[in-house]
Amino acid sequence: MAAMNMNQEQFKQLIREEKPVLVDFWAPWCSYCRRIGPAYEKIGEEYADSLAVGKSTLTRSRGWRGPRGSRTSQLWCCTGTEGRGFHHRARLKGRNRPFHSGSLGEITEGSDMNNNHVYDMLVVGGGPGGYTAALYAARAGLDTIVLEKLSAGGQMALTEQIDNYPGFEDGIDGFSLAEKMQKQAERFGVRSEYAEVLRMDLTAVPKLVETSEGIFRGKTVVLATGADPRTLGVAGETELLGRGVAYCAACDGMFYKGKTVVVVGGGNSAAADALLLSRVAKKVILVHRRDTLRATKIYHEPLAQAENVEFRWNSVVSALLSGDRLTGVRLRDTVTGEESVVDCDGVFVSVGRQPATALAVGQLALDGGGYIVAGETTETSIPGVYAVGDVRTKPLRQVVTAVADGAVAVHMAEKYIAENR
C-alpha cells in the first residue's frame, strides 16, 4: 500500500503494530518535502509487507511524540537548505539505520533487470523539457522512460507562482504544473523511474545510463538535467548553508518570518525572491552590482511599492559575517570601493545558475559556461543525444522554451532512429 495520510489517532494506532513504522512529517508549503513525497510513496508500495509508511503535515504533527520505548521509525524532513538538506533516520527494532534522500538504493535493491531491454528513448531529468520530450515520444509510439532522482519539475517545482506559461489565466505553482506534465506523459505510456544517474556511456550502442536502480539502455538519450544555483564564491558560504545562507526563497522563506534578509542579484529570480520574502520578512535588502535591475519591468513597480524593500545599488557581497549563524554581510561599492556592513538574519543568493553537466564532461562538447553545445535542433556533438531546457546553450531559459526543446528533440530522435535501424 502507498503511504497513509494520518491524523494523531491513526499515528498512535500505527506505532502499536509489529512492523517497523516510517513516518514522513512534511509541510505543504515546503517544495522540497513535496518533491521527495513520491519516494516515500514508492517505499510504501514496495515494502508494504515489512514496513508501515505514514505521512503527516507539519501543522497537524507539531509536537507529536511516539510513546516512550516504542519502535517507531523516526523521520526528520529538514526542509530546504535551511534544514541543511534532507536527513532521515529510521529506528528499526532498536537499530538505527540512516536513509538518505536521493539514494533509494540504500533501502531498495539495485537491479540489473533493465539490461536486456532497450528503450527507444531515455530521458534524463523530469523537468518541463524532459516530460515534454517523453510525452511527444510516447505519442509517436516510442518506448520511453524518464529517469528522475526526486520528482517531476526540476527547478520549476520550487517556483511559487508561474504567470507566463500559456493556458493558466490565474497562474499556477511550479509543483502543480510539473505533476500535470508527468501525469499527461504517463497517460500515453511513459514510465517514470525515480533513480539517481551515476554514469553514462553516450557513445555505446545502445547508449548506457547507469543509475541507483540499475542500468538502462536506449537508442537515444535526451538530457534534461537542468541547472543548479550559482554561489557567491565568498569565504564561509558553504559552512553557513542552512545557518543563514539559502538559495531558494520559496523553500526557506518562512524560516525568516519577521526577520531581516538580504537578496543578492538583479534578475527575474532575485526580483521574484525579494517580492516573496517581502510578504514574510520584516525587511528585505536587495543587493545588485549595477544601478538598475536586469529583471523584466513587471517586477519593478511591485518592488518599488513594497514598503519593506530597500535597494543597495552598485554593490557586491565581499564577506559573510557570522558567529554560530550568519549575522550580517559586508558590501563593497563597485564604483567607490567603499565597504559597509549590513546586519541581517539571512542571505538569499540569486545570481544565476550553473548547468548540471558533470556527467557529460569528457563526452559532449560544452561551452565556456559549462552548457552543452546544442542549437535549436537540440542535437549535441554525439548523434542520438539531445539536450533540452536549461542545460543547453540558448539565449532564453524559461519553462516555455524548455517545453519547445522537448518537442524538437523527439522530432530529431525519430529521424535518427529511422536512419539507424
Phi, psi of 119 (to 5 degrees): -80, 155
pLDDT score, position 101: 33
Domain covering 118-228+354-419: architecture: 3-Layer(bba) Sandwich (3.50)
pLDDT score, position 342: 97
pLDDT score, position 58: 55
CA-closest candidate to residue 24, choices 45, 39, 12, 10: 39
Which residue in 252, 273, 345, 405 is the catalytic one? 252
Question: What CATH number should be reported for the domain whose range is 245-349?
Answer: 3.50.50.60
Residues 361-371 have pLDDT tens digits of 999 999 998 99
Whole-model pTM: value is 0.68
Which residue in 30, 33, 251, 344 is the catalytic one? 251
pLDDT score, position 309: 97
pLDDT score, position 214: 93
pLDDT score, position 290: 95
Which residue in 24, 248, 273, 345 is the catalytic one? 248
**Catalytic annotation present for 344:** no
Q: Select 4-106's CATH number: 3.40.30.10, 3.40.50.280, 3.40.50.620, 2.30.30.170.
A: 3.40.30.10
CATH 3.50.50.60 in the chain, residue ranges: 118-228+354-419, 245-349
CATH 3.40.30.10 in the chain, residue ranges: 4-106
Show pLDDT as tens, one digit a residue, over the chain (421 residues): 556 566 667 777 766 767 788 887 766 556 556 666 777 777 878 888 888 787 776 543 333 333 333 333 334 333 334 433 333 333 333 333 333 333 333 323 334 445 589 999 999 999 999 999 999 999 999 999 999 987 788 878 877 778 889 999 999 988 899 999 999 999 999 999 989 999 999 999 999 999 999 999 999 999 999 988 889 999 999 899 888 999 888 778 888 999 999 999 999 989 999 999 999 999 999 999 999 999 999 999 999 999 999 999 999 999 999 998 999 999 999 999 999 999 999 999 999 888 999 999 999 999 998 999 999 999 999 999 999 999 999 988 889 999 999 999 999 999 999 999 8
Q: How far apart are CA 37 and CA 56, in angstroms?
A: 11
